[in-house]
Each structure stands twice: as structure tokens, then as C-alpha cells.
Amino acid sequence: MPMRQRRKSRSASPSASTSVDALLSEERSFPPPKTFQARAHLSNGEIYKQAEKNYQAFWARQAQELVWSKPWKKVLQWNPPFAKWFVGGKLNACVNCVDRHIETPLRNKAALIWEGEPGDHRTLTYFDLYREVNKLANGLKSLGIKKGDRVAIYLPLVPEAVISMLACARIGAVHSVVFGGFSAEALRERINDASAKLLITADGGFRRGAIVQLKNAADNAVAGCPSIQNVVIVRRTNNEINMHPVRDHWYHDLVKNQSGHCKAEAMDVEDMLFILYTSGSTGKPKGIMHTTGGYLTGVNYTTKYVFDLKPDDVFWCTADVGWVTGHSYLVYGPLSNAATCVMYEGSPDWPERNRFWKIIEKYGVTIFYTAPTAIRQFMKWGTQWPDGCELSTLRLLGSVGEPINPEAWIWYHKYIGRGKCPIVDTWWQTETGSILISPLPGVTSLKPGSATKPLPGIEAKVLNESGKEIKVGGGYLALTRPWPSMLRGIYGDPQRYKSTYWNRWGGKYYFTGDGAKKDEDGYYWLLGRVDDIMLVAGHNISTMEVESALVDHPSVAESAVVGITDEIKGQAIAAFVTLKEGNKPGPEAEEDLKQHVVTKIGAIARPKKVIFSNDLPKTRSGKIMRRLLRDIAEGRALGDVTTLADSSVVAALKVKYEEET
């Protein structure tokens, strides 16, 4: 069993602590706006009842929304913890995302509206996408790629990233996308784990006006990857690169003379569609496997109903394709629904801090899906940036990746949604494939900070250590029956699949690793990873609750809270805090913040230390690495920092911490 889980199981289940109750009593409820509801796909709770009547029949109805080349025989074969959905069926993911639309008037609809960081711009219609994908699929075949082969993709956020994923899917190759911000070492480890035969990369990518040398990193990685036979390079930045005479091929040369038609493989429903590595905070990255039919059913269904997607929407999910959010809500979910997707290559503050709002204004974005870490960054920069932009096209906002603290929720609602857009706070994981806990925007009354309820078809429960359900109160979040887009395992390691997700309750339920609390209305409040629960003088306090209290203070932009060993209390609280621009750190500010937490939560949650810092260590997908903060706060040597977005942040923080304490 991995370290972090052993550590987790030592602490008792997170119980209802005063702070969440305080939050709940303060919270306001936001029913769906009447005008939104009037047009929504779903405007009452009927679908929940239908799904509960027979969940397998419900999922079968969702699967029927896809095109199948052969119908399935059996909806579910459940041999815990191994599930097969829509057994016997055949389909192709690329056909579902592209071909089926070009046989209709959707042929000329914009599929991807892409903007590069320097301001260049491309729009690909569904037909354009079809043509590009087919050419590349033929190109990959010409390099010997066949059904079942693994192809690694290491690209900036350019249309070729989407085209590459779909081209793999078309010929039945399994893609493994590695985020372009990862190092050569991280890329090498992932290529080798999957024994990928081919790598698709680029000369470089743009980030804050500079060129990220992707090809250099790829060369360094591939030097240690015996399985790679060919490397295909997209020309993006035009910087000089080394071309290996046999191994390397320019993308544009490869596709130049290929036919624009390539037969799509009829894939078995349970054939692998992709592997995606998720790092977690310790241990070797896990190659999460998703298969074709179940995954596509999950993302197709959730994109339509969670985002209330309509034919005229302009949908912008800001995630990179290197994360599961990019896979599910930039590629497979929206394209299988024939959506128009906005895609932006670069940084939100380039050349100015209003770049996102300018993009929304320019393309008339109607649905905007981003992460709390970005929202808190926008809060820190101030409202003058969105204020100057035309955001009136927006009709729905989404959040994913972390619990969104009520303060950030309200800010997002007020300054981006201008008070009229529902917010869907969507809880899910790389492992779950698609959104599982989320409001339905035309149905659910929202409570800021709560992901609300499991979607129709999903059964999630809050359990205690021994597997007993907690109807009202806190515990472990478990998924208590299979769902179509669930992971099918960890690549090459079935044992780790069992021990990581299925050991806690004797193989019966899937353990999410997250703590959650259910309130009297049956709403779920995600409390973060279970190893982020502190035990202070015998009370369970979630780091997220203290962070919420801190961010609630007008001077605070962001905070990360960790438990540190304390002789008297068992654990005490250390708070790392980033102040909004124009606020001064110092002993007075420290005392003020401690007092604020006492007022919001109670004396039990008073931080022992407040450490001011301009940056917090985050993974490249924006999640705060609390493990590293604990190392700093407890004076230990720093552990693995390879998945950090900026590793200098921790080193600087460590020095500062040691000076101050």
C-alpha cells in the first residue's frame, strides 16, 4: 500500500467539525435562474428518479447516444473490482467525435477555435478536423503504427494535439499524452512504462513570450527509451532543432502526401483508448487505463447535461490536454457532442492579465470551465481586469480540480458570471474518467463550496472506516457501484489497482482518497485528500476549511494549510499565505489572520504559525503540494519535486521558513 494511504488511515475519519457547520449556516442557496432553467435540457429532477429505477438501463440509454458499428449484448459484467460495460459492442471514438458530424450540416461548423499565445489563430471546422485526422492516421500507419500500439504525445496546446489523439483513436493505437510542461525525465519514465513505439512532439511551445524547448527535452527523454522507433515533430516555434536522420520526421512532411481518408478500426468496446499518468504526491506515476465505449458514454453524457450544451454554445475548457480534464472536456466530451471548443495555448497573464477575458470577449464564449487555483489567481490580480471586458455572452461557469472555497465561488459568480451564470462545481478524478458529483445547472440549487450531489446514474456514499454509511456528517468518499467511465486498471500493475482503490472496504467499494461531508440536504462537501485532514487536540479539521477561512480575509489571495507535529496537541496548524497585491506581511497581519480563523472556525483551528510567501508550491495542474509544505514545516529534507510547476518556489520557501522560525 502506498505511503500516503498508510498515513491517511492512521487518522480517524474526518468528522463534522465546527467550521463546516459554520460555513453551512452562513451559506446562501442559489436556485437556477429562471431564464436559464427555461432553456435548459433538464429543468426538474425526473432524471434522478429514472436513473435510480434501473441504473443499468439508464446507462444503456446514454450509450445509445453514440454510434456503434456493432450493438452490445450485455450492459454490465461486474467482477469486482473489474468491470466491463456494453459487452460485445464495437465502436470507434474518432468516428463518434468527427465522422458522424460530417455527414450532417455540422460538417461546416467550427470544431476548434484555437488561439496561440503570440495571438495567431486557427479555426478548424468538423470537416477540417476530419481531413487532418485522416491524413495523420495514414501517416502513423506508414510508420508502422498498428492497433494496440502505444503512442506518446508531448505537445504544446496546439490543434495537432487534438488531431494526434483522434488519429490514434481512429487506427486503434493507444495514446499517452504527457503534459508539455513536464521534464525530460518525467517524459522518459512515462514512455518506458507504456513501451510507446512512437512520440509526437514539437520544436517548441510558447509560454509567457518565451520558447519552451520541447524537442530538446524530447531528445533527452528518448535517448533512454529503447521502445521508441520514430519521432514526429510539429513545427510550431521555428527554433532550430536537431533532427535525427532516421528516427525523426517533420509532421508536415509526414502528412503532405497522405490520403484524406483512412478507415477507422472497429474497436471492441473494452479496447483501450488511452493511458494517462497521474502522479499523486508519492510513488511512481500510475498509468490509468480508459477504454473506448464506457469512457465515451461517460464524457458524452456529462458534457451534454452538466454543461447544458447546446448547438450554438462556444465552450471553453481551459485545461491542457495533458490532464484528464483536457481529455474529457476539451476533446472527447465536447467533440462527440459536436460542440465548438475554444483552445488557448498560453498563459493567462500574457501579454496582460486580462488575456482570458479578452478571449471570452473575442469569441463570444458561452460556457467557461476552469480551476479554483486560476480563480484565486484572478482574485489576486483584481477585478479591474475582467471589468474592462465584454463577458455578457457567458451563461454557465464551471470549476474543477480542487474544492472551491466559498469566497472564490462568490467572486467567480459576481465578477465573471456577473451574477447571472450558474456555477457547476464538478468533482471527479483521472480515475473516474468523467464528472461524477456536480449540479445539473437547470435543476440544482447551488451552495457555494459544495459540488452538490452525485449525477444521475452515479452512487457515491460517505463511509466511515468500517464501511458504514454516514448519512449526515463527515467521512471517506466512496463510489459504491460501477460506472461506465471508470478506470479499467493501472497499466501493467493490476495489484496496485486493487490495493490503491479497492482495499479499504474488502474490495466492495471504490475508495476515492477524498474526505467528504454530507449535510442535511444530502449535499456533498468535498474536504480534500484524506491525508490533508489534521488531527488537532483530537479534533478533525480539514486543511481546506482553514484555507477557506483564511481566503475569506480581504487581504488573502491564497493559502495552504498543513498539520505539523505538536507535543501538546498532536498536531498544530501551519498556514502558508499569499497576500493580495498591496497588502503588507508582518506580525500584525499574522495576528490579524490568526484571529480571523478563530472568528470563522473557532479557537481550535487557530494557526500556530503563519508564513507569508509570494508563491506556493503547486503541481503543474495547479494543485498545492501539501506534502512538501509539511516537509518544510517539520524541517525535513525535501522529497521528490519533479512534478512541481516551479521547483525554486519550495527551496525559497524552505530558506524563508527556517529564517523566520
* Contact with ligand 6R9 (CB under 6 A) among 221, 440, 446, 526: 526
C-alpha 574/C-alpha 593 separation (Å) is 12
* DSSP per position, 423-437: EEE-B--TTT-S--B
Those residues whose C-beta lies under 8 Å from the C-beta of residue 253, and which sit 6 or more positions away, are none
Binding to ligand 6R9 in span 538-577, by CB under 6 A: none
**ω into residue 81 within 30 of 0, thus cis?**
yes
3-class secondary-structure state, position 462: strand
Binding to ligand 6R9 in span 581-620, by CB under 6 A: none
Q: Which of 288, 324, 323, 291 is nearest to 493 (CA)?
A: 288
Least separation in angstroms between CB 573 and ligand 6R9:
20
- The DSSP code for 442 is T
* Contact with ligand 6R9 (CB under 6 A) among 189, 203, 402, 558: 402
398 and 451 in contact (C-beta within 8 Å)? no
Exposure of 429 in the CB half-sphere (CA atoms within 13 A):
23
Strand order through the sheet with 460-463: 460-463, 473-479, 510-518, 524-529
> How many residues sit close enough to ligand 6R9 to count as binding (CB under 6 A)?
21
* Span of 90-98, 204-212, 394-402, 547-555 interacting with ligand 6R9 by CB under 6 A: 394-402
593 and 607 in contact (C-beta within 8 Å)? yes
x/- letters, 439..478, toward ligand 6R9 (CB under 6 A): ------------x---------------------------
C-alpha 563/C-alpha 572 separation (Å) is 6
* Contact with ligand 6R9 (CB under 6 A) among 513, 563, 607, 617: 513
Q: Which three cell numbers stand for residue 367?
A: 460556457
Residue 473 pairs with which residues in a beta bridge?
Answer: 518
x/- letters, 262..291, toward ligand 6R9 (CB under 6 A): ----------------x-------------
* Span of 40-48, 76-84, 466-474, 512-520 interacting with ligand 6R9 by CB under 6 A: 512-520
Least separation in angstroms between CB 533 and ligand 6R9:
12
Least separation in angstroms between CB 476 and ligand 6R9:
12
x/- letters, 325..344, toward ligand 6R9 (CB under 6 A): x-------------------
Least separation in angstroms between CB 526 and ligand 6R9:
4
Q: Which three cell numbers stand for residue 42?
A: 433538464
**ω into residue 351 within 30 of 0, thus cis?**
yes
Question: Buried b vs exposed e over 171-197: b needs ≥16 C-beta within 10 Å?
Answer: bbbbbbbbbbbbebebbbbbbbbbebb
* Contact with ligand 6R9 (CB under 6 A) among 139, 348, 398, 401: 401
* Span of 395-403, 588-596, 604-612, 632-640 interacting with ligand 6R9 by CB under 6 A: 395-403
Q: Which of 251, 216, 220 is nearest to 234 (CA)?
A: 251
* Residue number with CB closer to ligand 6R9 (403 or 442): 403
Least separation in angstroms between CB 376 and ligand 6R9:
14
Binding to ligand 6R9 in span 104-133, by CB under 6 A: none
* 430 part of the interface to ligand 6R9, by CB under 6 A: yes
* Residue number with CB closer to ligand 6R9 (412 or 657): 412
* 426 part of the interface to ligand 6R9, by CB under 6 A: yes
* Span of 137-145, 232-240, 359-367, 399-407 interacting with ligand 6R9 by CB under 6 A: 399-407
Interface positions with ligand 6R9 (CB under 6 A)? 278, 324-325, 400-403, 425-430, 451, 512-514, 526, 528-529, 621
